[in-house]
Amino acid sequence: MDNSTLLNEVIARAQVWLDGNYNEETKAEVKRMMDAEDKTELIESFYRDLEFGTGGLRGIMGAGTNRMNIYTVGSATQGLSNYLLSQFPDIPQISVVIGHDCRNNSRLFAEISANIFSANGIKVYLFDSLRPTPEASFAIRHLGCQSGIILTASHNPKEYNGYKAYWNDGAQMIAPHDENVITEVLKIKNVDDIKFNGNPELIEIIGEEIDKAFIDAVKTISLSPEAIERNKNLKIVYTPIHGTGVKLIPRALKEYGFTNIIEVPEQYVVSGDFPTVVSPNPEEPAALDLAVKKAIEKDADIVMASDPDADRMGIAVKNDKGEWILVNGNQTAMMFVYYLIRRWKELGKITGKEYIVKTIVTTEIIKQIAERNDIECYDCYTGFKWIAAVMRENEGIKQYIGGGEESYGFLPETFVRDKDAVSSCALMAEITAWAKDNGKTLFELLQDIYLEFGYGKEKGISVVRKGKSGAEEIAQMMSDFRANPPKEIAGSKVSVIKDYKTLKQTNVTSGETINLDMPTTSNVLQYFTEDGTKISVRPSGTEPKIKFYIEVRGKMKSRKEYDAADAAANAKVEAVRASLGV
């Protein structure tokens, strides 16, 4: 499609908004973009419809079909309503949960959605104010609802908002439901098809009663209450980074028995503008700067942070030199899996039917920990909906211990079906207490895992390419990798290639090809080299970027060799980057 054809299509789509039954504020914004000499903003706002990716609907807020606003949210909710009515015709009262985070417009979008659901005869349980995403997942299961939505853009910058859709098991939708909802949304050709006038009698406000039930459930996953009692004065610095974690994470820590929770006052301020950070992402070192500063001031034992919707957590610990360092998502997941399996064994909870789950881009050390303890390890696609899908398949057959992904998400329980920073923060504090009870710092526990299973270093690299042209460039990069796969990476021969788009695994040396057992295809490539390096490449499902996941392996014979192993791994990572040209 040439530029003039695209612009004509975009103008036609925008004109529908000017002529239709949209509010005056929206029409003024559309007209401003149409009258502008530079049509880039108009094109970006209207060249497509927002689509569900690994995290649902997510985009920049503003007017347009490719933006988050009351009409795109309205179309999604009307489409979901139509789908629910078709799927549950025999249920006397279909019901949904609506949760939201701290972002600008999140409450507005939640209330608009509540009106639309109720106008369609669907019962709505609407939280009285912002709540963590995992609590909304819990509420869907707890209240026996058929679906639910959460208004959040997770850790994205302040310009974004999002819409996550959940099914009756409390997990984000996967096929066929996500695709079928999209089909229903696409059937809505006119804003007048959206039922905006709600039925107040079908909207019930929920709050404290669900909070208590959720916290009570979180308390049941504790495995070392005696260690907590002996170390209840552990100094825990926690920051919600202006988000929903402020509602429940300090409370969960106190309910676990911890008495010394240190606030970061500037970041306890709930705000969709995230005034103290550029990005409210616990993966970003700068997001934890204030918390680390507080930890130095208070001589704390651990720093913990949650993202705005409190499904992801980040931590910082003191190393053997007394310096505060950030622990990445792979390392956090490793510590969770190591602790959970060890304590389950010590407590006699292992029956031979237990399993853990990780995503294909998460460290292979987790699989080693599981297999060495005779625990089954599932590999699934990126996105917690796939971990939840494994849980759904094994319900009543096998026992889930825990699951996580490299992007700072972990789930150590079954009463939620999405990553959960509330339970993860409580459990990580417990691990810190347990380690201290065993004469170790959390950093020394991490070192000991490397000593037992081999050193590993992971590096995530995101290449951002915005807009339509960026999407095309990312698609071309994936095509180029498929057409010309690397024969060696950083001096080590590529031995295995996995292509999840074709579901084929190729042994490069023998040429043998086998099928990959996955629930569906995905646009992901993986390269494994003879020296244990793993490279994963995939376009993001929620952001305008292509992601490279690098994992290199090394050796450690003592804690004293940690720095040397880390330096060698860093050098190897840079060599891999050079080989890939990223």
Catalytic residue numbers read 154
Give start and end residues of each alpha helix (H) in 355-505.
Answer: 365-372, 384-393, 421-437, 442-453, 467-483
The DSSP bridge partners found for residue 161 are 59
CA atoms of 122 and 113, how far apart (whole Å): 11
Name residue 312's amino acid: R
Cα-based distances in Å from 463 to 296, 470, 471, 526, 539: 34, 10, 11, 17, 9
Give 560's contacts (C-beta < 8 A, 6+ positions apart): none
> Which has the closest alpha carbon to 490: 563, 555, 551, 537?
551
The H or E element spanning position 507 is strand 504-507
The answer to whether the beta carbons of residues 403 and 329 sit under 8 Å apart is no
> Which has the closest alpha carbon to 483: 499, 507, 471?
499
Give 360's contacts (C-beta < 8 A, 6+ positions apart): 379, 380, 381, 382, 498, 500, 524, 526, 536
CA atoms of 375 and 356, how far apart (whole Å): 7
Task: Please tell me the chain's helix, strand, coil percentages from 3-state DSSP, rounded to the nearest 5.
Answer: 40, 20, 35
What sign does the CA torsion over 511, 516, 520, 525 have? negative
Name residue 245's amino acid: G
